[in-house]
Amino acid sequence: EPEVTQTPSHQVTQMGQEVILRCVPISNHLYFYWYRQILGQKVEFLVSFYNNEISEKSEIFDDQFSVERPDGSNFTLKIRSTKLEDSAMYFCASSSTGDEQYFGPGTRLTVT
């Protein structure tokens, strides 16, 4: 069964450093999303991406964040200068129709 994959599973970085989180969505899906979940809190929407552009972003997704689909299979989230409060699980999701979204296993980001 096709699934969303994410790498790395765990990333530790120092405050102020740049990180890139990588995702491979399900191959025939057209809609892509990033969410995050701070430990013990709700899953929160960050950004949606369709047709090679951002379609919606949340207030969390400020100028420190960017997304890219560099080729036909990868979808990345970049955080330019990480802060302690960026520590969270980051989930990539994809959808064929924009309705049901299928999530990856997540990347645990720890900022020290």
Residue 106 binding other proteins, by CB under 8 A? yes
- Which residues on adjacent β-strands are paired with residue 21? 77
Judged by CB under 8 A, the residue of 45, 60, 76, 78 near other proteins is 45
Residue 50 binding other proteins, by CB under 8 A? yes
Q: Cβ of residue 98: shortest distance to other proteins, in angstroms?
A: 5
**Residue in the structure block whose two tokens are 């995702």:** 23
Judged by CB under 8 A, the residue of 33, 59, 77, 83 near other proteins is 33
> Which residue number, 15 or 38, has a Cβ lying nearer to other proteins?
38
Q: Cβ of residue 82: shortest distance to other proteins, in angstroms?
A: 21
> Which residue number, 15 or 42, has a Cβ lying nearer to other proteins?
42
Three-class SS string for the chain? CCCCEEECCEEEECCCCCEEEEEECCCCCCEEEEEEECCCCCEEEEEEEECCEEEEECCCCCCCEEEECCCCCCEEEEECCCCHHHCEEEEEEEECCCCCCEECCCEEEEEC
10 Å Cβ neighbour count for 97?
9
Q: Cβ of residue 55: shortest distance to other proteins, in angstroms?
A: 4
Question: Binding residues for other proteins, per CB under 8 A?
Answer: 4, 31, 33, 35, 41-45, 48, 50, 55-56, 58, 89, 91, 98-106, 108
